[in-house]
Structures are given as structure tokens and as C-alpha cells.
């Protein structure tokens, strides 16, 4: 009886392993290069333009302050030998005040810009994931991986779906 159990267990294990290897051969895997997708989809350009126009006025204000700082610093450098100590001190204070204003206005702008970029990227990521699912279902893929997390893949057995995903996302 004990021999029968061992033989049955070995037979069952062998059958299971053969079944696993057969299904592994039939496993259809796709690959998506996310960097390529992001670079080629038109939505990324639209996001960039929208954010540029949304924050243009505030950026111009900061650029003006930076220009003022450069001007005053160059003036200090040029004229410091002929300036009195009082004039030097006033000019240093003016430059430091401008730098403080630049910092006070620049940090919130930077944070707000990052937040808006993240919001827009999340929208695009949702569209990309939807497109990947659509392409995978249409091509009857069992699994789709991203190229950046894959160390090696056999290009003869794994299909690169990046261009198809770009095409689907570009239509949305």
C-alpha cells in the first residue's frame, strides 16, 4: 500500500510538472516601454503647453526678480570701489531683499507646479493603462510587463506592444 501511495504521488507530481511546462509554453507575454510611450504620445505635449500657459505670468514675475538681482549684483561689483560703506550696505540689503522675495514666491510656485504635473500625469497614466489593457485583450496576451522592470526578455517570444499602445493613446 505504501509503495502504491509513493508511485501515485510521483505520477501526480510528474503530471503536474508536465502540465505546468505545457502551459508555460503557451503563456503569451507582451512588453511596454513606458518611456517610449510617454515620449511619443501627444497628450504629454499638451500637458506641457497647458502648464506653461497656466504658470507663465508667475514665472515671468520670478524671472524679472532674478534679472533685478543680477543687475544689482553687477552694479555692486562694478561700483563697489567708488561706493561709500552706507551705499554698499543699502545695495546688499536690496539684493538680499530681492533674494528673499524670490524664495518666498518661488517655492510655492514650484510646489504648485509639481502638484499640477502629478495631477496631469495621473490622468495620462490612467489612459495608458486602459490602452495597455485594450491592446493586451485584443492580442490575447496573458501578461504584459513594463520594460524598465524587466531585466531580460527574449524578443522572439515576447512582443513589444509600445507602438500599439502609443497608437491607441494618441486616438484618445
More confident residue, 9 or 56: 56
Alpha carbon distance 124, 156 (integer Å): 30
Which of the four pLDDT bands, split at 50, 70 and 90, describes residue 155?
A: confident
What's the CA dihedral at 125, 37, 162, 20 to 10 degrees? -40
Which of the four pLDDT bands, split at 50, 70 and 90, describes residue 157?
A: confident
Stretch 30-58: mean pLDDT? 91
More confident residue, 23 or 59: 59
Count of helix runs (H) and strand runs (E) in the chain: 5, 3
| 138 CA to centre of own chain | 26
Stretch 130-138: mean pLDDT? 90
Alpha carbon distance 16, 6 (integer Å): 15
- Which pTM was predicted? 0.66
**Tens digit of each residue's pLDDT (9 = 90 or more) over 76-100:** 899 888 989 999 899 999 999 999 9
**Tens digit of each residue's pLDDT (9 = 90 or more) over 22-41:** 444 567 888 898 999 999 99
- Round the average pLDDT of the chain to a whole number and report it: 83
Q: Does the pLDDT of residue 16 top 50, yes or no?
A: no
CATH code reported for the domain at 2-171? 3.30.910.20
pLDDT, residue 6, reads 39
Q: Does the pLDDT of residue 21 top 80, yes or no?
A: no
Closest listed residue to residue 165, CA positions, set 140, 129, 124: 129
Element (H, E) at 31: strand 29-32
Q: Which three cell numbers stand for residue 127?
A: 489612459
- pLDDT > 70: percent of the chain: 85
Q: Does the pLDDT of residue 2 top 80, yes or no?
A: no
Amino acid at each position: 500500500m505504501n509503495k502504491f501511495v509513493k508511485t501515485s504521488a510521483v505520477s501526480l507530481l510528474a503530471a503536474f510538472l508536465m502540465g505546468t511546462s505545457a502551459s508555460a509554453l503557451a503563456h503569451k507575454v507582451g512588453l511596454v516601454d513606458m518611456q517610449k510611450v510617454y515620449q511619443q504620445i501627444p497628450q504629454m505635449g499638451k500637458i506641457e503647453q497647458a502648464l506653461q500657459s497656466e504658470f507663465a505670468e508667475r514665472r515671468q514675475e520670478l524671472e524679472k526678480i532674478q534679472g533685478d538681482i543680477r543687475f544689482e549684483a553687477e552694479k555692486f561689483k562694478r561700483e563697489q570701489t567708488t561706493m561709500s560703506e552706507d551705499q554698499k550696505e543699502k545695495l546688499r540689503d536690496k539684493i538680499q531683499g530681492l533674494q528673499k522675495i524670490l524664495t518666498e514666491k518661488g517655492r510655492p510656485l514650484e510646489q504648485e507646479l509639481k502638484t499640477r504635473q502629478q495631477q496631469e500625469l495621473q490622468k495620462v497614466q490612467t489612459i495608458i493603462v486602459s490602452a495597455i489593457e485594450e491592446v493586451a485583450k485584443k492580442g490575447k496576451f496573458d501578461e504584459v510587463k513594463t520594460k524598465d522592470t524587466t531585466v531580460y526578455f527574449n524578443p522572439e517570444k515576447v512582443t513589444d506592444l509600445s507602438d500599439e499602445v502609443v497608437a491607441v493613446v494618441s486616438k484618445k
